[in-house]
Chains A and B, each alone.
Chain A
Amino acid sequence: MLVTDTSNFIACLQRIQPPLNILTDVERLKPFETDAFISHRATPLCAVLPETESQVAEILKSCSRERVPVVTRGAGTGISGGAIPHDDGVLVVLTKLNKIANVDALARTATVGPGVRNLAVSDAAKPFRLFYAPDPSSQLICSIGGNVAENSGGVHCLKYGLTTHNVMRARVITSDGDVIEIGSRALDAAGYDLMAVMTGSEGMLGLITEITVKLVAEPEHIETMLAAFPSVTDAANAVGKIIGGGVIPAALEMMDKMVVEACEKVMSAGFPLDAEALLLIELDGVREEVAEQLARVETVLNECHAQEIRVAANAAEREKLWRARKGAFAALATIQPDYYTIDGTIPRRCLPEVLARYAELGREYGMTVANVFHAGDGNLHPCIFYDGTVPGEMERSEELGGKMLEICVEVGGTITGEHGVGIEKLKQMCVQFRPLELSAFHEIKAAFDPSGILNPGKGIPSLKRCSEWGGMHVRAGEIPRSDIPRF
């Protein structure tokens, strides 16, 4: 944008009533240059922190008139770079839209602003013995708006579903600045399920200003157990057998030795240090059901050579285990401050094979790989360590991560489980989808955002970029092993 255009545009924003908090100086814009995907950065033209829905609508009207790109940011905890600003764009920070409009205990819903923290929804629902089920590791701080944008998951999604299964309706500002409502407070709405389209759209279809989420009854009884294994393969086998045996745990998580050691160092969770892999398993429901499942799971764990099984004695012990699990990624920073976390999903039965191939790839690249992930969902989060002070290392870690995602596609999985595509996985989108499919995605975006100002360059790669990355593995528009059923 030309300097005069820029100042005219800022002047437009300054005329918005009530007056908007606008940041235009580099000093204060820099802290917004990245989210939790810190290897990439961009300083926006300006950042705005609206406090009302009408301000958001006015911002979008100005942006669409001037064709200024818009990137939306919540708490900035995303790890695929979805909220990284556009150099010539406006960063719309929605953290001040943080009011809980209501908790309807009878309807079991909560209606909240996009800036409300995920955990704050459950806190507000607690007096009614209800909670909001999707629980990303960052639930303490990540915002509901961001959760919808990324279709976030979490440790309890195995049983309770992802964000998309737990949102009912939203108020959305279109790229032209119109306010629309999608979804409904009822379980079904007439017409296309636009709520499902909006969920996971990474800020590319509209800006969400209010969300109605489902609340779930707190289970009567919870048991959390920890099982230690002498090998990663044993633990991975146990995962398949537990679910294959008909038990759907509320959560089924796996971590390898390196992660256990890091968690122990930072959070002293009491994890056994002599195991090669741990499973954290949570069972919930009515007391009798949980007791019966617990016995079945214990049998499977023993069959799979568990060397130690512990059941949390009380809520405090349970909380300690989960706190350590949810702080695992940040705790890994004590091993080496630079690391890159991948997010791919595979069929559960392929866990042992894929983990072995990851370890092999790590050795090939001479890079350490740690694993902590939602094993029950087959949602992998390998963590690649590198030294950012060595030139080229970061790029190599990204290359290795890309190969790991391609393995996910190869075995019939997907390149994202819950983190979104953002800018991180654009290349792998070309592996996952055919050009025709990508074109269809672009048409959906154009239907919502004809001027193309919403989060441009994220989420869906242009066909041109895919071909530039060059027949990576897409030959003649065909993905490898197209015979494998995808899910």
Chain B
Amino acid sequence: MQTNLADFIKDTPEGIEAESILRKCVHCGFCLATCPTYNLLGDELDSPRGRIYLMKQMLEGAPVTEKTMLHLDRCLTCRACETTCPSGVQYGRLVDIGREIVEQKVERSAIDKLKRAVLKKALPQTGLFKVGLAVGRAVKPLLPDALGKKITAKRDVGVWPAPCHARQMLVLQGCVQPAMAPSINAATARVLDKLGISLIVAPSAGCCGAIPHHLNDVHEAHVFIKRNIDAWWPFVEAGAEAIVVTASGCGTTVAEYGYLLRNDAHYAEKAKRISALYRDVSEIIAKEKNALAKLLAVQNKSKQKLAFHSPCSLQHGLKIKGVVEEILSAAGYELTNVPDGHLCCGSAGTYSLLQSELSQQLLANKVAALESGAPQMIATANIGCLAHIESGLDDSSKLPIRHWIELVDERLT
């Protein structure tokens, strides 16, 4: 599409990038088909193409109101549209730019601001979140259903093997996951240990920066990213082979560190190196699949039917498709067919808390799709999806839901 950006943005790095993205869009509308919100609402304005148009106007200097903000807020940033787009439009990057501008141009309501401020402060701080979660677990029966259901049961963490291998990899601990499901990274450490890799943690690293990023606070996101880079750097220099992330949602952010800090004089190079070292845990395991097959060969367990929910961050953000599925099949699981597997579950970072109505509809559809193949359990690859889907499962016949690496870990013990 032809564009004529306004002076306020035209010659800035964001403006130049936005223009090059807009120019690629031919307005064909293919993206509408796989957009979860367009599927629910049937309104162009709640589709990627409609949002691109709203952003185009804003960037061209047209007056912008809370209407544009609403439709941008309703976007899950699942990036299914990018997978569908035949013209290679990087919608995710455009919507980041658009959201930053709309945040400057439109004043949010007091309640909205408060909600966002609380989420921004509470979620990324594991300590604070842990206290909240512990209190929540204690008083769960007293909480309203919608909130209570989000509080997951505590799981056994198990042993984290001491580092003893020459091959070492860093793991992102993150913020929400160590509080909600510390078992996931511990399971990863055990599986990798058996494959001859020691998984280590940089103590001062924390939230990847995705949470402030979701809430359009670029400055705060950069602070978090730089803190992680500083925490990881000594380990990188000491020869850590990779930076492993077990939550694909966080993974998409770490993979973009290089891009996000590309204009930062001090951190651009380091951030690029970190992104180059980043791997989703599935990529590491897939590379070691022969060794894993040997370990699995001694196991003799019956096939279990499993429904895998591929998070949007994994399939659309990181473009990792079929990799986890292959590992699970190799580990002896029978994967059921999940209709509309490209659609978001409605978790989408802080979306489930900020856009609960749409999020709940997507959740109900997702749970129905996952259960349609009559699985015995559900697996996924991102803590956000895991907690969200768990909250939507029927209490009476509750299927277990796990991170897939925990299942591989179980098969190896």
- Seen from chain A, the residues whose Cβ lies within 8 Å of a Cβ on chain B are 21, 25-28, 30-32, 34-36, 38, 49, 75-77, 93, 95-96, 98, 115, 117, 119, 138, 140-142, 266-267, 327-331, 333-334, 337-338, 388-389
Contacts and interface: CB of A to CB of B under 8 A. Distances in A.
Given A25-B67, A30-B57, A266 B88 contact: yes
Contact of A337 (B24, B42, B85): B24
Interface string B24-47: 111111101110000000111100
Contact of B33 (A30, A140, A333): A140
**Max count, chain A CB within 10 A of own CB: residue among B30, B32, B43, B84:** B30
Interface string B56-68: 0100001111011
A266 B87 contact: yes
B2 interface: yes
A329 B68 contact: no
B105 to A, nearest CB: 12
Nearest to B50: A31
B54 interface: yes
- The B interface is mostly helix, strand or loop, or mixed, namely loop
**Max count, chain B CB within 10 A of own CB: residue among A25, A75, A119:** A75
B30 A141 contact: yes
**Max count, chain B CB within 10 A of own CB: residue among A28, A75, A337:** A28
A329 B25 CA distance: 12
A76 B29 contact: yes
A95 B38 CA distance: 10
Contacts of B42: 49, 95-96, 98, 115
Given A32-B44, A266-B88, A75 B32 contact: yes
B340 to A, nearest CB: 10
B107 to A, nearest CB: 16
Contacts of A31: 44-45, 49-50, 53-54
B303 interface: no
B400 interface: no
A140 B30 CA distance: 7
Contacts of B63: 27
Contacts of A115: 42
B44 A330 contact: no
A77 B68 contact: no
B26 A38 contact: yes
A36 B44 contact: no
A141 B32 contact: yes
A389 B19 CA distance: 13
Nearest to B34: A140
A69 B194 CA distance: 72
B154 interface: no
Contact of B29 (A21, A98, A138, A389): A138
B1 interface: yes
A32 B44 CA distance: 8
Contacts of B86: 266-267, 327-331
17 contacts: A27-B63, A28-B54, A30-B57, A31-B53, A34-B27, A36-B27, A77-B29, A95-B42, A95-B44, A96-B42, A115-B42, A140-B30, A327-B86, A329-B26, A329-B86, A330-B28, A337-B1
A5 B65 CA distance: 26
Given A31-B50, A329-B86, A333-B26, 9 more contacts: A27-B68, A76-B49, A77-B28, A115-B42, A141-B30, A266-B88, A333-B24, A333-B25, A337-B26
Contacts of B321: none
Given A34-B27, A138-B29, A330 B85 contact: yes
10 closest A-B pairs by beta carbon, nearest first, are: A327-B86, A330-B86, A31-B53, A141-B33, A96-B42, A333-B87, A140-B33, A330-B87, A95-B42, A31-B50
Nearest to B60: A30
**Max count, chain A CB within 10 A of own CB: residue among B27, B28, B63:** B28
Contacts of B53: 30-31
Contacts of A25: 67
A330 B24 CA distance: 9
A331 B33 contact: no
A49 B68 CA distance: 18
A25 B68 CA distance: 11
Given A138-B28, A330-B85, A334-B87, A28 B67 contact: yes
B23 interface: yes
A388 B87 contact: no
A378 B287 CA distance: 49
Nearest to A118: B33
A30 B55 CA distance: 11
Contacts of A32: 44
Contacts of A267: 86
Contact of A49 (B28, B33, B43, B49): B43
B62 A329 contact: no
A164 B2 CA distance: 35
Interface string B199-239: 00000000000000000000000000000000000000000
A334 B25 CA distance: 10
Contacts of A117: 33
Contacts of B34: 140
Contacts of B29: 35-36, 75-77, 138, 141-142
Nearest to A93: B44
Contacts of B88: 266, 333-334
**Max count, chain A CB within 10 A of own CB: residue among B26, B53, B67:** B26
Contacts of A28: 45, 54, 67
A36 B24 CA distance: 14
A272 B84 CA distance: 23
Contacts of B64: 27
A76 B27 CA distance: 9
B87 A76 contact: no
B58 to A, nearest CB: 9
Contacts of A30: 53-54, 57, 62
B69 to A, nearest CB: 11
Contacts of B26: 36, 38, 329-330, 333, 337
Nearest to B1: A38
